[in-house]
Amino acid sequence: MGLFDRRATPSSSGEAPSIGAAELADVTTLMDRWDAALGDSDAMFACMAQIARRPWEWWAAASRAAGAAGEPALVGRIFLFAHLFATRLVDRISPEKQRETGLGRPEPDAYRAIAEQAVSSLVQLPPELMIHDTATGKVDVAAAWTMAQAVVSA
């Protein structure tokens, strides 16, 4: 089976997926792996194979669950992943691979929901707190909030 041969399975009920403590722990682990993989193409694509198993609707639900669980930094990290994917990565993935994986350009409603949750959650953190600090760059809360606000305002 190839790297992107597993298709993401969107919710068939039309309802938002239920995200509990175990799923939030998985999200934290995935975001840690993603941050560690940035700058290393092989590691990035291996991590994306796991991320792609969850549709954007799931990521929006995870963002809401992280906000409800009092994890504003995780909300910000989910937004930064979605924003990086939408603005820098999706155009590097062929349309065929996007269809195969189910992880293409974020649906506007899901992307906006992730950004809205970031706008409302990140204000709980000190603006100078680094929520992304990797070899490829650093993003503090204030910068992440500004990016999320731009998505919401668009």
Tell me if 107 is assigned to some domain: yes
How is 51-84 classified by DSSP, letter by letter? Answer: HTTS-HHHHHHHHHHHHHTT-HHHHHHHHHHHHH
User: Which pLDDT value is given to residue 79?
Assistant: 98
Tell me if 62 is assigned to some domain: yes
- pTM equals 0.84
Q: Residue 15: which pLDDT band, with cuts at 50, 70 and 90? A: low
Q: Which domain range does residue 103 map to? A: 21-153
Tell me if 66 is assigned to some domain: yes
Tell me if 60 is assigned to some domain: yes
Tell me if 129 is assigned to some domain: yes
Tell me if 16 is assigned to some domain: no
> How many domains are contained in the chain?
1
Tell me if 3 is assigned to some domain: no
The SS3 of residue 94 is coil
Cα-based distances in Å from 30 to 14, 49, 120, 128: 25, 11, 23, 24
Tell me if 80 is assigned to some domain: yes
